[in-house]
Amino acid sequence: MTEAVGMLEVFGLTTAFMAADAGCKAANVHLEPFDKNKPKNPDSLPVPLLVMIKFRGDVADVTEAMEAAMAKAKEMTGYVQHHIIPRPTEDTQKMLKLCAFDKS
């Protein structure tokens, strides 16, 4: 059975670590590698870096982790968007492994 994935895009790496920690402590989930995105309008954002957190587990645990992570992110710099995919396709699973942190 394919694990659900919860994706949470937040402002900044510190917020990403704090939100990921909160989510992992709240539910039985594990993380895929973070990903980053440098937006075109960085001066208008609280932090000029967007980071994608990806939780994996069953749907109920991913939902609980996402709620805890969103609450933590909201306390800090905030979040952009969030989505849960209950049963990602094989092609989507491959895309979840992509990570731009090792790129300049």
In DSSP terms, 55 is beta-bridged to 6, 31
In DSSP terms, 10 is beta-bridged to 51, 79
What pLDDT, in 10s, does the model give residues 7-16?
A: 999 999 999 9
The answer to whether residue 100 scores a pLDDT higher than 80 is no
Confidence of residue 51 (pLDDT cuts 50, 70, 90): very high
Confidence of residue 96 (pLDDT cuts 50, 70, 90): confident
Which segments within 12-67 are labelled E, that is strand?
Answer: 30-37, 50-57
Q: Could you give the domains of the chain?
A: 4-96 (3.30.70.1710)
Residue given tokens 């209950």 in the structure block: 86
Query: Closest Cα partner for 34 from 59, 47, 15?
Result: 15
45, two tokens: 């954002």
